[in-house]
Structure formats: structure tokens, C-alpha cells
Amino acid sequence: MPLNKSEYDKKYCQPLKPPLISWDICCEMHHRKKIPDLPVGGFLKQSLIDFPGYISAIVFTAGCNFRCSYCHNAQLVLPDKIRKASKYDVAELLDWISKNKKMLDAVVVTGGEPTLHKKLPVFLELIKNMDMKVKLDTNGTNPDMLCCLIDYQLVDYVAMDIKAPLEYDRYKEIAGHLFNRKMFESINRSVERLKKGDISHEFRTTLASELSIVDLRSIADIADTNYYIQQLREPGTGNIVKNEISIDSVNEMIRNHPKKEFIHVR
């Protein structure tokens, strides 16, 4: 059952009631308790490609509820590796963003899966109060938080993975053994929420070896706006990992698809 507005206000948005917290006030009043304890496992100071049109800093949250076969982010996904990886101090990170906001337009929050963390809305509120744009990358398994972030205008753009055709067994094949029916329903709700049309968004699919051209076509059917098919890339080098599906056949599928103007390969 979806949460109604007052239920998700209670669950996620308590700290967002006016007056909004600003980072300066947070620092001045030494409200250390207000600093969200978001587990951050990676931080990139500047990127020109993650939020097209904007210079952005990238925050990688640690923890994920999927176990995709192609995942290269074990240190952000597997609890053992997360424990051993170095953590970022959220206060220092917010301070750095605040001091360098003149050279940034936006912050991209990615993972792992950022919406697993209850403190994400508070973190984004602090970023928005620095007059920055926010892009969220999500696997769509927390539609309640997604609704909250959209309704409170804490995100400007959402990139949501659709990892497989919307069939439970196919999805589980790619999202891994932790995947369950509740997550599947949540993903469907997140897709519907984004398609309401009040938030800029994209859907995207990584070209996993388990996928076929028929799968890609049926995922493209779901998308209402920009849909990106992402080629698998080697971490570090960025080289494209060869797949049984040739890029020519992907391009042919796109040419013959009724929504071809919305479908892109990257």
C-alpha cells in the first residue's frame, strides 16, 4: 500500500518543516546533531558528464539492496567491503561543497542506492539551500522517499534504472538474490510516479549479458521520455565490455521503435 502524504511526511520529512535548515546556520549554531549521518563511500569533486549541462560534484552513498551481476561497486554494495572502505565525513563534505559552490552547479547523489537512507532528504535539503541543483540516481525501490523528494522539490532530475523487462523473474535474474516481490512492486510505483510528468527524468538500462533485444524493446515501451541503453564499461579504463548483443542490433531496434527519438545509446 502506498503511504499517503501525511504518512510519508511523518516517515521521511519531519526535518523539512519550516524553518528550513541552512548549512551556514547548521555550522554557526553548531547543530552537529542536524548533520545527517548519511554513509558516504565516495566523492568526486567535479564531473562534466554525470548531469548533462551542469558541472556537478558526485556523492556516492554506501549500501545497496540489489546484487547486480555486472556491478563494479562492491565497496559501495557488499557490507563487508563497505565496512573496510574509508568513509567520508558528511560535515566536511558539505563544507567543501558550500565553499566551492561557485564552481559547481549541481550535486549528483548516486550509490549504491541512495534512497535506502532515511537521512537523504535532510542531506538534500542542505544542498538545495546552497542553491544547487540535485540529480538523484536510483534503482526505484523506495517510491515513498522518491515521492517525498519530488514533492518537496529536493531533486531536479531523477535517473532511474529499469534493469529488465517488468516481469518479476526476469528482474530478479539481473538484480540478484536479494530481490523480492515488494521491491518489484516498488519499482513499478516509482516508474508510475516519474511518469506523472512533474519531474525531469530518464530511465536507463545497463546492457547486462542476461538481456536480449526483445527485452530492450519491451523496456523502451515503458519509457515516456529519455531512455538510455548504457553499455557496460570496465571500471578504471572505461573500455566497453563486449556483449552478445551487438550495438548494430541495438541501433536497428531503436530505428524501428515508435519512440525512437527518445531512445539513446551511451
The site for ligand SF4 (CB under 6 A) is made up of: 64, 66-68, 71, 73, 76-77, 111-113, 139
Residue 60 to residue 41: CA distance in whole angstroms:
6
Residue 74 or 222: the one with the smaller Cβ distance to ligand SF4 is 74
CB of residue 46 vs ligand SF4: minimum separation in angstroms? 22
Residue 77 or 194: the one with the smaller Cβ distance to ligand SF4 is 77
Residue 113 or 125: the one with the smaller Cβ distance to ligand SF4 is 113
Residue 47 or 251: the one with the smaller Cβ distance to ligand SF4 is 47
CB of residue 138 vs ligand SF4: minimum separation in angstroms? 9
Residue 76 or 164: the one with the smaller Cβ distance to ligand SF4 is 76
CB of residue 74 vs ligand SF4: minimum separation in angstroms? 8
Residue 56 or 75: the one with the smaller Cβ distance to ligand SF4 is 75
CB of residue 26 vs ligand SF4: minimum separation in angstroms? 29
CB of residue 124 vs ligand SF4: minimum separation in angstroms? 19
Start-end of H helices in 49-142: 74-77, 79-84, 90-99, 120-128
Residue 116 to residue 236: CA distance in whole angstroms:
26
CB of residue 233 vs ligand SF4: minimum separation in angstroms? 12
Beta strands in the chain (DSSP E): 40-47, 56-61, 106-110, 133-138, 157-161, 200-206, 227-230, 263-265
Residue 52 to residue 160: CA distance in whole angstroms:
15
Start-end of H helices in 108-209: 120-128, 143-151, 168-175, 181-194
H/E element, 36: none
CB atoms within 10 A of CB 60: 21
Spatial CB neighbours of 83, under 8 Å, sequence gap ≥ 6: none
CB of residue 110 vs ligand SF4: minimum separation in angstroms? 8
User: Helices 168-175 and 181-194 meet at what angle, rounded to 10?
Assistant: 100
Q: How far is CA 163 from its chain centroid?
A: 13
Residue 67 or 259: the one with the smaller Cβ distance to ligand SF4 is 67
